[in-house]
Amino acid sequence: MGMAKNLLRFILKRTRYELSEKQKRLPTPTFDNIKLVLALSILTRPATTFVQIGAYDGQADDPGHDYILTGKMNCLLVEPIEASFRKLELTYKGLPSVKLVQAAIGHSDGTTAMFKVKGGSQSESVPTGGLSSFTKAHLLKHGVREEDIEPLVFPA
């Protein structure tokens, strides 16, 4: 453990991050700290499997994209929405370290409704990207009009 901690401190000295042992909770996830964790995982634990739930198309606002393309870590990418899953397949085609699963991950087994922005709707101009949720209120909170939300039913 001591050697890993020293290596982490050494790497972090060259960034704007620092290691704090007094912090009792995890920092808010941002693209920067997700990228940092992925970079450190590739360096220190190359056999690690990266799991991404809601992978969308593998490119738009995806902090893992560049790290996944290196092929230096195993990846399990999960995306339930058909159109997004097809784009994801094209993004990572030919990378043997990447496994794709088209499924919704919910709290229990069975079927569940997921909500997404309707294709061709006025709300598509809202920067929603791959925005979808098990709750309609989440999309409304992001400025999607109620009439532009469509439910999809998935096995979970």
Q: Which residues have C-beta within 8 Å of that of residue 23, sequence separation ≥ 6? A: none
Give domain limits for the chain. 30-101, 111-155
What is the three-class DSSP state of 152? strand
H/E/C letters for each residue in 38-78? HHHHHHHCCCCEEEEECCCCCCCCCCCHHHHHCCCCEEEEE
- Which tens digits make up the pLDDT trace of 22-72? 555 666 767 677 788 888 888 888 778 889 988 989 998 888 899 899 988
The model's confidence at residue 77, banded by pLDDT at 50, 70 and 90, is very high
Bridge partners (DSSP) of residue 54 are none
Section 112-123 average pLDDT: 82
Question: Mean of the per-residue pLDDT values for the chain?
Answer: 81
CATH homologous superfamily of 30-101 equals Vaccinia Virus protein VP39 (3.40.50.150)
The model's confidence at residue 104, banded by pLDDT at 50, 70 and 90, is confident
